[in-house]
Chains A and B, each alone.
Chain A
Amino acid sequence: MSLAADLREYYVEHYPADAARVVETNSDAEQTLRELSDAGATHLLDYVDPARLKPLFLSLDKDRQASVLLQSRIRTAMLILRSLSESEREEALNSLPARVKTEYLELLQFPERTAGRYMDRLGTRYRTDQTVGEALDLLRGSSAQRTRSLYLVTEDDVL
């Protein structure tokens, strides 16, 4: 990776809101987004003005679109999917793993102003039969920057 690319990724990772404002005012925002890594592009889209999400998302190739939908916050993924036409949405969902596709389809059905519309995905699942040590190892290995609560679920994902 070139030095300029390293700096770009660093800036997006540490100052995503500032980077999003730069992209929003840039005439070639799509090109800027395409030059970012998958993680960088996803992080940036989490902070971009929702009105700009659709063209930016569609400027990515199909593989990267799937990567963004998988890695982004639930809220961002829902905003993107809701902004797409029916055929575009179906195409985007079809490129996702079946489990995620089902989850997203359920989320899309939550009515406006319900908690389901605004929730974030549980990054790591903690089991009732795990030891504290195992849970701590999982927590340390997760990408979470700040965790207030760990939710315990059964093998069937039941809280």
Chain B
Amino acid sequence: MPSDRLDPLVLRFASARPDELASVLAGADPADIADLFGDLPVKSAATVATRLPSWQLTSLLSSLESEKIAQMLVAASIDDAVSMVSHLPESRYPAILESAGDAGRAELHQLFEYPSHSLASLATTAFIRVSAGTLCAAFCEQLSNSTDTRSRPVEDVASSVEALSGLTSAESALKSRLWMRFTELPVVDNRHRVLGVVSRAKLLRIAGDDSTDDFSFERLFTELATGYLNTCGRLLESVLGKR
């Protein structure tokens, strides 16, 4: 049994004060943490692991063997198990299921599989978990200490998003399915250069205002001025472009 190698004082620390142990581990070397969790009993390991900062939990799970993770998931409370799964890439599910026993496998299936129409299946796992009491400075430090993405090119961790054209009306933009995944979307010009970012809340507000269809001199003047400035801009651009 791996836990036989671990000091009884550390075992008691882990079982009696998991929150404090996790906070003590915050500054420790990831490789040392992985070794420690390899030796901890699975129940304690799961309890302490889910109290680690998000980046540390992701890093830890990436270094633990599938068999250990499967045992931890089965032994964990349902909250802790869900928390662990939210930090696991889907690519590891098959190996974890494979290494779980028959009884555990059914349980893990339930954890991994959400109905396709449920919110859980729509929710992205690429988020950073932080407790409300964490100081901003400590959180910044955690982010910059994160080893799971630090050495990778930005391109690897970025997710692609379809942009909205600047000419798209607020009503049309609101129909986009992209709002199921994003609360803000980039806006581009006809050459696909980023102009800015627009939020769904803002579009909803604007679409609501437009629905009144009330005539106003102020609105008429704004539209005329915008059209005039746009025309001037295009003329200037074409003149400069020719030179």
How many Cβ-Cβ contacts under 8 Å join chain A to chain B? 48
Find B10's partner among A4, A18, A23, A26 (CB 8 Å cutoff): A4
In the complex, whether B193 has a CB less than 8 A from a CB of chain A is: no
Complex contact A3–B9 (CB within 8 A): no
B contact residues around A10 at 8 Å (CB):
13, 24
Distance between A98 CB and nearest chain B CB, rounded to angstroms: 36
Report B-chain residues with C-beta under 8 Å of the C-beta of A4.
Answer: 6-7, 10, 36, 39
Q: Is B12 an interface residue (CB 8 A)?
A: yes
1/0 contact string of A67-109 vs chain B (CB within 8 Å): 0000000000000000000000000000000000000000000
A3 touches B12 (CB 8 A): no
Taking CB atoms, residues of chain B closer than 8 Å to A2 are 32
- Say yes or no: A19-B9 contact (C-beta < 8 A), given A3-B28, A7-B21, A10-B24: yes
- B5 to A, closest residue via Cβ: A4
A3 close to B13 (CB less than 8 A): no
Is A8's CB under 8 angstroms from B10's CB? yes
Check B36–A3 contact: CB distance below 8 A: yes
Can you list 25 residue pairs at the A/B interface with Cβ under 8 Å?
A: A3-B28, A3-B32, A3-B33, A3-B35, A4-B6, A4-B7, A4-B10, A6-B24, A7-B9, A7-B10, A7-B13, A7-B36, A8-B7, A8-B9, A8-B13, A10-B24, A11-B9, A11-B10, A18-B16, A22-B8, A22-B9, A23-B8, A32-B8, A32-B9, A35-B7
A46: shortest Cβ distance to chain B, in Å? 15
Q: Known: A3-B28, A3-B32, A3-B33. Contact between A11 and B13, CB under 8 A?
A: yes
A12 at the interface (CB under 8 A from B): yes
Contact A26 B6 (CB under 8 A): no
Contact with A along B37-55 (1 / 0, CB 8 A): 0010000000000000000
Query: With an 8 A cutoff between CB atoms, is B141 at the interface?
Result: no
Question: Does B29 lie at the interface of the complex (its beta carbon under 8 Å from any beta carbon of A)?
Answer: yes
Are A3 and B29 touching (Cβ within 8 A)?
Answer: yes
B9 / chain A contacts, CB cutoff of 8 Å: 7-8, 11-12, 19, 22-23, 32
Q: Which of B6, B12, B24, B33 has the most CB of A within 10 A?
A: B12
Contacts A4-B6, A32-B7 supplied; 5 other A-B pairs, CB < 8 Å: A4-B7, A7-B10, A8-B9, A8-B10, A11-B9
CA of A11 to CA of B16, assembled, Å: 11
Contact with B along A36-53 (1 / 0, CB 8 A): 000000000000000000
